[in-house]
Amino acid sequence: MYPLILALALTKCLGGESLATNINRYLKPFVEEGQISGTLLVARNDQILFETSLGMANYELRVPNSVATRFNVASITKELTLIALIQEIEAKSLNVDAALKTFIPDFPGGDKITILDLLNHESGIPHSVTDDADECNYQTAQSMVALISKSPKLFAPKTREVYSSAGYSVLARVLEVLDKAPYDDIIRKRILDPVGMHNTSSAVSDFFIPDRAESYIRTPNALWPCQPKDYSFLVGAGCHYSTCRDLFKLLRYIVDGKLGATVKENLVRGPQSFWNGLTNGSRAFVQYDVSDGVTVIYCGNTVTGAADTLRQAIPKIVRGEHVAPAARIEPKTFPLSEMQTAEYVGTYKISTTDESFKMTARNGLLILGDTVLVPTAPAHFFAMRDYGELTTVRDPEGRVSKLDWHEDGKVVMSLIPLDIRSPVKAG
């Protein structure tokens, strides 16, 4: 069984049982199957009710995760970038309608892209512009802007919305031009130090990150190490490592208005505030229900559907609702032949974002980026990342024309092959 370290459990709930008892009961199937590896924090308003660490920060060295383990929080870095930009806007040093060329004069099309376009993912800049070599080499906001400048735009500004981490790297450079300081220094001075986030580090400026968790890919029966990356290529967008406690400090600082009313208005909106990060085997989220202050924060170093399952269930447990223990995840692998597997290998475009990924094969499984697809039937696959299901659609010649990704019985996106492969002949 994977180690489970209970740090805090204060609240009583169903039938007089402790909150810890009920949450641990719910978590047990995921823990026993190794579907969760990370730290989970549960709070109500400013009081931490429960905190636990699961799995290993380093499976090769058998180093357990702990509340001090620092995880890559991926796109939650964008919240830090947004906070700094909002402060610039409040100080009247930045106008959201200003053209990008004001700050980066030689950026192609910068006369038509505004700061607001970048913030709203409406600039036309792709989500990713890097190759494997770029992602293994040290990058800065300036070097990333040089790469982004060479990448073709997906569309004219304001005509569409496509999520873009590269766009936030451009915003990191805008901050540097405004403040005449490196991005990391700006974030530390404006946010990390005032909030007391002393266990938060950046891959851009910190060569050694204490207590850093390695990231892993979960398969039905094993863990595989993720391809090493230097997350400086996600400057402004996904370069930070942090802990659940530091993220909780940040949330409370924002909720209490200590980073400004406009920051609170933009980052704590609607009935539920949700910050989300996902990249290369790392997953983090902060979920805060405004009405009753119930907060669930998770930082992990493997990605499975368990994270979203517990995100939905744990607030109900905190409120005293009965929640059945999580169902065990036991996808049965259908043995595809090498020829059948090879039919799926290639480059795919995601229908909802136009982003492309390479599909590879290993040990009878398909791997799309850091997502493992388990064949469960000749034309069906189970996605470990979100427990979704994929079905194969073929053209009249029998070739794979797309893979439809289903969640809760609905197609949420399709994977379109960019490489045309001949169908495998029966017999």
Q: Are residues 75 and 173 in the same domain?
A: yes
Task: State what percent of residues in the chain have pLDDT above 90.
Answer: 82
Residues 89-102: pLDDT tens digits? 999 999 999 999 99
Residue in 67, 53, 75, 63 with CA at minimum distance from that of residue 5: 53
Domain containing residue 250: CATH number: 3.40.710.10
pLDDT at residue 419, as a whole number:
83
Kindly tell me if the per-residue pLDDT of 358 is higher than 70: yes
In a domain, 422, yes or no: no
Domain boundary pick from 314, 330, 346: 330
pLDDT at residue 10, as a whole number:
45
Paired tokens of 358: 């390479």
Amino acid at site 346: G
> Model confidence at 122, in pLDDT bands (50, 70, 90)?
very high
Domain boundary pick from 305, 330, 355: 330
The whole-angstrom separation of Cα 356 and Cα 304 is: 21
pLDDT at residue 115, as a whole number:
98
pLDDT at residue 294, as a whole number:
98
pLDDT at residue 367, as a whole number:
92
Q: Are residues 94 and 234 in the same domain?
A: yes
How many domains is the chain partitioned into structurally? Answer: 2
pLDDT at residue 424, as a whole number:
61
In a domain, 291, yes or no: yes
Nearest 5°: CA angle at 238, between 219 and 266? 120
Contact status, residue 318 vs residue 11, Cβ threshold 8 Å: yes
The whole-angstrom separation of Cα 43 and Cα 342 is: 47
Residue in 410, 80, 10 with CA at minimum distance from that of residue 250: 80
Q: Are residues 115 and 63 in the same domain?
A: yes
Kindly tell me if the per-residue pLDDT of 422 is higher than 90: no
- SS3 label, residue 345: coil
Question: What pTM was estimated for this model as a whole?
Answer: 0.92
Lowest mean pLDDT among 120-129, 144-153, 329-338: 329-338
pLDDT at residue 13, as a whole number:
47
Q: Are residues 96 and 245 in the same domain?
A: yes
Q: Are residues 284 and 374 in the same domain?
A: no
Contact status, residue 37 vs residue 54, Cβ threshold 8 Å: yes
In a domain, 9, yes or no: yes
Kindly tell me if the per-residue pLDDT of 387 is higher than 70: yes
> For residue 80, what are the domain limits?
1-330
Q: Are residues 240 and 373 in the same domain?
A: no
Phi, psi of 263 (to 5 degrees): -60, -45
Contact status, residue 82 vs residue 172, Cβ threshold 8 Å: no
Q: Are residues 348 and 379 in the same domain?
A: yes
In a domain, 425, yes or no: no
Kindly tell me if the per-residue pLDDT of 12 is higher than 70: no
Domain boundary pick from 272, 295, 330: 330
Q: Are residues 176 and 245 in the same domain?
A: yes
Q: Are residues 301 and 351 in the same domain?
A: no
Kindly tell me if the per-residue pLDDT of 14 is higher than 50: no
In a domain, 44, yes or no: yes
Residues 180-205: pLDDT tens digits? 999 999 999 999 999 999 999 999 99
